[in-house]
Amino acid sequence: MFTRLARHLSLAATLAIGALCAAAVALPQAAQAAPKAPAVITYTNLTLLHGWHSDTIDGSAKAAVADISGIVTFRGAMWAPPGSSSRVLTLPKALRPAKLAYIPVDLCNANNGRLEVWPTGAVYVDAEIRFSDATCFTSLEGASFALSGTGFTTLALKNGWHSYGSGTASAGARLISGVVHFRGAIKTSGTNPFLFTLPKALRPAHKVWTPVDLCNANNGRLYIQPSGVVQVQEEGGTFKHASCFTSLDGAWFAR
């Protein structure tokens, strides 16, 4: 009888220990399975200058800006009466670039334009064709620039390409949360459109075309191959605006 009782007690103890172990294992797994709350991005509304407005335009958002992992990202749209100044706003001190940046933006009737962002925080808008395209409508959506060169890999330029200088940053690229961001400006006196080869860790899985700003706010794009080879292309198939000035600021792609 005592032997059977001992066996029952031993079995009960074993089952209890097993249940405790299972609970101990289940708790961390449950904790790991819990959904992670998305990061909250806080946008700062921008105060526009010299008659520029950010009232709702056909349902667009008001002009605002946020720092997302060191990349300053704009949102919204703006407009101004004809003849207004090209100086549109001043960025808060915490959101000013370390170097002068030129960023492509969309204007009225899908015409091309750019933002000119100075380390002082002064922001100007330029138009490729007519400045009235900018005052009619300037979209800030998709426009971005890097606050500094921290974390960026310097790109080795080829085929006669070199840094543009004049206050702009040297060519660089950085991977942030699966997205490769570019920085800097370049030029050449030659005619070779091949700029550089990206390091393996920064190469796309597929071919990529991403817009960039060229000389005098002309429209261009980077053509990026999975091999890492990067080429600049200009609207209309010419090359003079690309060779004169190609800004990498604001260009990005998902790996």
Q: Residue 16 domain-assigned? A: no
Q: What is the DSSP string of the chain?
A: -HHHHHHHHHHHHHHHHHHHHHHHHHHHHHHHHSPPPPPPPPPEEP-B-TT-B-S-STTPPPPEEEEETTEEEEE-EEB--TT--SEEEE--GGG--SSBEEEEEEEGGG-EEEEEE-TTSEEEEEESS-HHHHHH-EE-TT-EEESSSTTPEEP---TT-EE--TTBPPPEEEEETTEEEEE-EEE-SS---EEEE--GGG--SS-EEEEEEEGGG-EEEEEE-TTSEEEEEEGGG--HHHHH-EE-TT-EEE-
Residue finishing a domain among 129, 146, 163: 146
One domain, residues 131 and 194? no
pLDDT tens series, the chain, 255 aa: 434 434 443 444 443 444 434 444 444 444 455 666 667 789 999 999 999 999 766 788 999 999 999 999 999 999 999 999 999 999 999 999 999 999 999 999 999 999 999 999 999 999 999 999 999 999 999 999 999 999 999 999 999 999 999 999 999 999 999 999 999 999 999 999 999 999 999 999 999 999 999 999 999 999 999 999 999 999 888 899 999 999 999 999 999
Q: Residue 31 domain-assigned? A: no
Q: Residue 28 domain-assigned? A: no
The predicted pLDDT at position 100 comes to 98
Number of domains composing the chain: 2
The predicted pLDDT at position 251 comes to 98
One domain, residues 131 and 191? no
Question: Where in the sequence is the domain holding 176, given as residue range(s)?
Answer: 153-254
Q: Residue 3 domain-assigned? A: no
Q: Residue 33 domain-assigned? A: no
Residue finishing a domain among 114, 146, 178: 146
pTM, 2 dp: 0.84
Q: CATH number of the domain that 132 lies in?
A: 2.60.40
The predicted pLDDT at position 55 comes to 75
The predicted pLDDT at position 35 comes to 62
Q: Residue 37 domain-assigned? A: no
The predicted pLDDT at position 38 comes to 63
One domain, residues 198 and 119? no
Q: Residue 238 domain-assigned? A: yes
One domain, residues 90 and 137? yes
Residue finishing a domain among 111, 146, 181: 146
